[in-house]
C-alpha cells in the first residue's frame, strides 16, 4: 500500500501497512467539547456504482476490508440504515485486540455500538445484531414510530432513541443525540439513502471513499441518494492510499 497524498518529495515504495499504521492514518481529530465528528465509509466503482447485485462486497477488496475494520475500530458508534442491515446481513461489531489499547486510552467501549436508523422499526429482532451484541444496539427512529414496535425493540435488548418529530429521523438530531451519550466519534456505512440525508443536512464532516478499479454498468445506486442539493458542497482532499489499483481517499468538509 502506497501513500499518494500528501505528495512526497520522493516516490514512496510499496509498504505493508499494519493496522497500527492505518489507525494512525485514520485517527479522528481530537474531540472538541460538545462536538461530534461524523465520517462516512463507502466504496464505489469507476462508473459510480456503490453495489453490484445489491451488495457492496463484490466491489470491495482485502485492503478495503482492512480499512473498513480500522474505521470501526476507531469509532464510538456506527450508524447504518435499516435497509442496509437487511441487505448486508449486519452483525454486531466485535472487540479486536489490535485496537484494544487505543480504545481503553480513549475511554471507549470494547467495540463500537451499532445505531440502526429506522422509521418503521420493521426489524428482525432475532438477529445477532439485536439479540447478542457485545455493546447494546441503538435504534434511532421518529416520534411517530409504533409504540408496540418500540416496546418490542426494547424488550429484545435494543435502546430506542427518538430523533425526529415525525415518522423519520432528523439527521442533525441523530448526530446530536448520539453525542449526548458520549458517542462523538461517529461512522456511517450507509446505505446511500442514509448518506444522502446526512449530506443534505450538512452534518457530514468526512468521507472515506474507496474507488474500486471496476466497471459494472447497470443501474446500481450511487454512494449517496435522494434529492439533489441546491448547491454542491465542496470537500477537500486530505489523503490517498493505493493498493492493487484501489484508491482509498479521505475528504474533509471545508
Q: What are phi and psi of 86, to 5 degrees?
A: -70, -45
* DSSP H or E segment with residue 78: strand 77-81
Task: Find, among 252, 254, 195, the residue nearest to 5 by Cα.
Answer: 252
**Burial per residue of 5-25, b for 16 or more beta-carbon CB atoms within 10 angstroms, e otherwise:** eeeeeeeeeeeebebeebbeb
Evaluate the omega torsion of the peptide bond into residue 148 and state whether it is cis, within 30 degrees of 0.
Answer: no
The whole-number pLDDT of residue 8 equals 52
To the nearest 10 degrees (0 to 180), the angle between helices 97-105 and 62-74 is 30
Alpha helix segments (H runs only) across 75-209: 82-88, 97-105, 128-131, 147-155, 171-180, 192-201
The whole-number pLDDT of residue 15 equals 67
Distance (Å, whole) CA 171 – CA 157: 24
The whole-number pLDDT of residue 125 equals 93
Residue found by looking up cell 454498468 in the block:
217
Distance (Å, whole) CA 201 – CA 138: 21
The whole-number pLDDT of residue 11 equals 44
pTM of structure: 0.93
Q: What are phi and psi of 241, to 5 degrees?
A: -115, 155
Task: Find, among 85, 90, 92, 87, the residue nearest to 121 by Cα.
Answer: 85
Identify whether the C-beta of residue 19 lies closer than 8 Å to the C-beta of residue 99.
yes
Torsional class of 89: left (φ above 0), alpha (ψ -120 to 50), beta (otherwise): left
The whole-number pLDDT of residue 146 equals 95
pLDDT tens string for the chain (254 positions)? 888 876 554 444 566 789 999 999 999 998 887 789 999 999 999 999 998 887 888 999 999 999 999 999 999 999 999 998 988 888 899 999 999 999 999 999 999 999 999 999 999 999 999 988 999 999 999 999 999 999 999 999 999 999 999 989 999 999 999 999 999 999 999 889 999 999 999 999 999 999 999 999 988 899 999 989 999 999 999 999 999 999 999 999 99
The whole-number pLDDT of residue 10 equals 47
Amino acid at each position: 500500500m502506497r501513500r499518494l497524498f500528501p505528495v512526497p518529495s520522493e516516490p514512496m515504495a510499496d509498504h505493508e501497512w499494519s493496522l497500527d499504521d492505518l489507525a494512525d492514518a485514520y485517527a479522528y481529530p481530537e474531540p472538541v467539547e460538545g462536538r461530534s465528528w461524523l465520517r462516512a465509509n463507502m466504496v464505489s466503482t469507476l462508473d459510480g456504482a456503490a453495489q453490484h447485485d445489491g451488495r457492496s462486497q463484490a466491489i470491495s477488496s482485502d485492503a478495503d476490508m482492512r480499512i473498513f475494520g480500522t474505521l470501526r475500530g476507531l469509532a464510538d458508534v456506527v450508524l447504518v440504515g435499516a435497509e442496509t442491515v437487511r441487505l448486508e446481513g449486519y452483525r454486531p461489531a466485535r472487540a479486536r485486540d489490535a485496537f484494544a489499547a487505543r480504545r481503553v486510552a480513549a475511554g471507549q467501549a470494547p467495540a463500537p455500538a451499532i445505531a440502526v436508523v429506522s422509521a418503521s422499526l420493521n426489524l428482525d429482532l432475532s438477529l445477532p445484531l439485536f439479540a447478542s451484541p457485545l455493546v447494546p444496539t441503538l435504534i434511532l427512529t421518529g416520534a411517530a414510530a409504533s409504540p408496540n414496535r418500540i416496546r418490542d425493540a426494547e424488550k429484545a435488548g435494543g435502546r430506542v432513541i427518538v430523533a425526529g418529530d415525525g415518522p423519520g429521523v432528523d439527521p442533525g438530531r441523530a448526530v446530536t443525540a448520539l453525542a449526548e451519550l458520549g458517542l462523538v466519534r461517529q461512522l456511517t456505512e450507509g446505505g446511500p439513502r442514509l448518506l444522502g440525508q446526512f449530506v443534505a443536512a450538512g452534518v457530514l464532516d468526512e468521507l472515506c471513499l474507496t474507488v474500486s478499479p471496476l466497471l459494472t454498468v447497470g443501474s446500481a445506486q450511487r454512494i449517496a441518494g435522494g434529492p439533489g442539493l441546491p448547491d454542491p458542497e465542496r470537500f477537500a482532499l486530505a489523503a490517498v492510499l493505493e493498493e492493487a489499483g484501489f484508491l482509498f481517499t479521505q475528504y474533509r468538509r471545508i
